[in-house]
Amino acid sequence: VPEHLCRGHKPRYQEPCNTQDCPRWYPGDWTGCSVSCGEGLQTRLVLCRDARGQQSNLCEDSAKPVATQACRTGIPCPTHRHRYGFGGLTPSRTGHDLEEGQEGEGTPDFYPGSDLSSLPLVHQPYPHSQSPPPPPAVAEPLVAEQVVPSEPTQNDS
């Protein structure tokens, strides 16, 4: 039918739809590094949200920002956890404890083949002829701002 014979308003062939923005990824802040020396990991929360701020599952997976990355503290980790030959302590035969030994036996070469980095830390007092030890270290949070108790908290109910 020719258009000039039609009465009234001609409807549109097209009209807009889905005019709101598509959902997109919102990355959170990075956590602190997971270690106090050497290289560790940082994580962050990455959420998909729609135009109203509601969580959605319609974001493109290929566009999702990374949620984990490597981090470096800038503080080198100690290579030896003990001061061998100081106070006569040497690695035990099992490699897991320290035991009394003769002076001079406490060098890393004394116990060949052992992985000294797996040995526990042991307090070794300073002799009287040297200066006193430095004050104890102060713990600082490395990963989260939330306080995490080091001992179980008891509920008073």
Domain ranges of the chain: 24-72, 79-124
Q: Give the CATH fold of the 24-72 domain.
A: TSP-1 type 1 repeat (2.20.100)
Cα angle value 86/92/95 (rounded, 5°): 110
Span 21-35, pLDDT tens digits: 899 999 999 999 999
Span 129-155, pLDDT tens digits: 455 566 666 555 555 555 545 455 555
Span 54-79, pLDDT tens digits: 999 999 999 999 999 999 999 999 87
Burial of residue 6, with CB atoms counted within 10 A of its CB: 0-12 exposed, 13-18 middle, 19 or more buried: exposed
